[in-house]
Amino acid sequence: MRRLDKGFVVWFTGLPSSGKSTVANGVAEKLRSMGYRVEVLDGDWVRKTINPDAGFTREQRRIHLLRVAWIARLLARNGVVVLCSFVSPYRDVRAEIKKIIEEENIPFVEVYVKCSLKECIRRDVKGLYKKALRGEIKHMTGIDDPYEPPEKPEVTVDTEHDSVEVNVFKVLNKLKELKLVK
């Protein structure tokens, strides 16, 4: 097991059903095989376990994501590579998250998981877009709430056109380029 004095945080952001968790889990698998201690914090899992009372209004999402940022910071401070997979639709909230992480000199890498709304709706594994389009769900990102793509992410992966393997490679390559992993 490779021991890092300080870990780092990789934050995967994109529309629901864009493939954030799939890419994050692929990166986690590769990093673990390289001997790194890795935790994946996934939006669905965190909402189900740690933060089940989290709502979907802009302010509720903000509070939810800032809680996740503090958890990620604590883990990274203790040498863990933390991969966070959250829609995190607002640029200003992602900037707050980055500030929380970097206040402790922990590297923060933003990964934009790019995929068209049309393709995300086609994938819709949980049926959320269908419900939102019928008006059964409010505050659905991409339908009645906006998604603000990152302006300068460290990495952009295109899950609509590239394979999971290609996208995992892109993220790992950037982590090597940043000298966060060997």
Average pLDDT over residues 156-172: 98
List pLDDT tens digits, range 73-110. Answer: 999 999 999 999 999 999 999 999 999 999 999 999 99
Integer Rg of the chain from CA: 16
Average pLDDT over residues 172-177: 98
Q: Which helix (H) or strand (E) holds 82?
A: strand 81-85
Strand bridging mode 81-85 / 108-114: unpaired
Judge whether 85 counts as a catalytic residue.
Answer: no
Which of the following is catalytic: 17, 21, 85, 88? 88
Separation of CA 87 from chain center: 7
Residue % of the chain over a pLDDT of 70: 98
Sheet of 108-114, strand order: 38-42, 81-85, 8-13, 108-114, 155-158
Give the domains, in start order, of the chain with CATH numbers: 8-116+147-176 (3.40.50.300)
Please determine, for residue 49, whether its predicted confidence score (pLDDT) is greater than 90. Answer: no
Please determine, for residue 34, whether its predicted confidence score (pLDDT) is greater than 70. Answer: yes
Best CA proximity match to 1, nearest among 36, 29, 28, 39 = 36
